[in-house]
Structure 1
C-alpha cells in the first residue's frame, strides 16, 4: 500500500471530526446563501427570455448590460425586472436601457434590408416592451 511522503510543503494538520462538521456546516450555509442570492437573477433572466425571445446567454448579457449602463447593481435590476412581470411598473431608465439592449440583440439576428429604411425615426424605434399583463407600454 503506497504512503504519502511530506516534501516540506504546508499541509493542513489532521482535523478532528468536530472541525470537519463545522466546516461542512459553514459550506452548507454559503451554498444556501448563494442559492438564495441567485434566485432573482435567474428569474430576471427568464423574464428577459420571455420578453425578448432570446437565449439564456443573450438574456444574461442583456441583464448585465442594463446593470452596467444604468449604474444599478445587478441584483437590484433583477429584482425590478421580476417585479415588473407582476406590477407592469419599471423605472424609466431601466425600461429605456432594456428596450435598447433588446433592440440591439434583435438587430444582430435580423438580416439587413437591401433597400434604405423609409425614415430614420422608424429605424430608431426598436423593439417595444410589452406590458407583462398584455399589450404594450
Structure 2
C-alpha cells in the first residue's frame, strides 16, 4: 500500500464518521490483496477502498442500498472475470461474518468490477 492510500484510510479512521471495525476490515482486505500480488495503491485501489468503506458503513447504519438499474449490464461485464466475482463473494462473506453487514448482489458486483480492474493491472 502506498502512502496516499494509507492516508485515505487514516482519514476515514480519524474522521469520526466511520466505525473503526469497518476501516480495520477494509485495511485487512487491502493487505490481503497486496499479499496476493495486486498493486494496491491510491491510483489502483482508492475508489475500491472508498466504495467498500461507504457501502459497509451504510449497511451497518441500517441504510438501504438500492439495486442499480445497471445490475444486468454489470453482471454481463463480469462474465469474463470469474475470479474477481469469486473474490468479491469471499469478501462479502467475511463482511457478513466479521461485521454483520450483508452486501447485496449489486454491491458485490460493483466490488467485483473494482477487483477485475485491479486484476487487469497485474496481468496487463
Per the normalisation by structure 1, the TM-score is 0.36
Say which structure is richer in helix. 2
Per the normalisation by structure 2, the TM-score is 0.39
**Structure showing greater relative contact order (alpha-carbon pairs closer than 8 Å, 6 or more residues apart):** 2
Larger radius of gyration: 1
